[in-house]
Amino acid sequence: MTDYLPTPIRTLTVESLTVQIYASAEVVGLAASCRAAEILRAAIAQQGEARAVFATGRSQKQCLQYLTAPEKTELPWQKVVGFHLDEYLGIAAEHPASFRHYLRHHLTDRVALKEFQAIEGDDLLPVDICEHYEHQLRTRLLDLAFLGIGNNGHLAFNDPDVANFDDPRWVKLVRLDETNRRQQANSTAFANIEAVPQYAFTLTLSAIRNVQNNLCLAFGNGKAEVVRSLITGPISTSCPASILRQIPQTVLMIDTEAASQLGAIL
């Protein structure tokens, strides 16, 4: 896999955050898959298995395509335990907008993981789901998490109104704000904003802070404003992703379009 490792056009350090800028969205995906494979292989070599949290959405597709291609990674997937960042409340795994559906299509149907721990979003006891999933996450160190950034600055489903940098919980049920729900309606399989669930399960920012390696991916002009806020604005729950500047084990991997509003710091 290292034969394919792209070199960033520019690397910045913003407080504790490493920012890597690449020529295109495709190169972001390739670079992220290379780095993820290195992390997973190192964890397997050290402890016999790796534990990874997978994200969904447009930012992750290219990375997952490369990561699950046998000719590129040669990963021993049978030694990887998978989790996912978030899931809607009240929709079945077969729903085309379900994150379980997404990860089955882009991950678990393509490679045979040792285990995949799913958030059962349509379970009848959502509070119990939070407690059970948090227990599974805390059992051992999490070696890797993939992240994306929402248009409102969220990480996972930690929207500004519910984000807590010192959350005592690792998993919680939250109400999604209108900006988030509109983004989901515009970019997923929901017919309109009314079809987007109002509540979802999410890993908290405290859970993300406890992962050994975070790879956060963003690309395209549509992410330029939120990337600028993340990097140059205050560290505040008004842009929850700004907390990444205080998480040294994180690499933000973006393309030149997403970096287009960084201006003076480049």
CA distance 205 to 105: 27
CA–CA dist 196, 209 (Å, integer) = 28
* Alpha carbons 248 and 18: distance in angstroms, whole number: 8
Where do the structural domains in the chain lie, given as residue ranges? Answer: 17-265
**3-state SS class at 38:** helix
Fold of 17-265: Rossmann fold (3.40.50)
- State the Cα–Cα distance between residues 49 and 34, nearest whole angstrom: 18
Amino acid identity, residue 110? R
| Cβ neighbours of residue 86 closer than 8 Å, sequence gap 6 or more | 56, 99, 119, 156, 157, 200, 201, 202, 203
Pairing of strands 214-218, 144-148: parallel
What is the chain's pLDDT, residue by residue, as a tens digit (266 residues)? 445 689 999 999 999 999 999 999 999 999 999 999 999 999 999 999 999 999 999 999 999 999 999 776 679 999 999 999 999 999 999 999 999 999 999 999 999 999 999 999 999 999 999 999 999 999 999 999 999 999 999 999 999 999 999 999 999 999 999 999 999 998 878 989 999 999 999 999 999 999 999 999 999 999 999 999 999 999 999 999 999 999 999 999 999 999 999 987 77
Number of H helices, E strands in the chain: 8, 11
pLDDT score of 186: 86
Strands 171-175 and 199-203: antiparallel
Q: For residue 168, give the amino acid letter.
A: P
Which helix (H) or strand (E) segment holds residue 29: the answer is: helix 25-47
**pTM of the full predicted structure?**
0.95
Burial of 170 (0-12, 13-18, 19+ CB in 10 A): buried
- In degrees and rounded to multiples of 5, residue 206 shows phi and psi of -65, -40
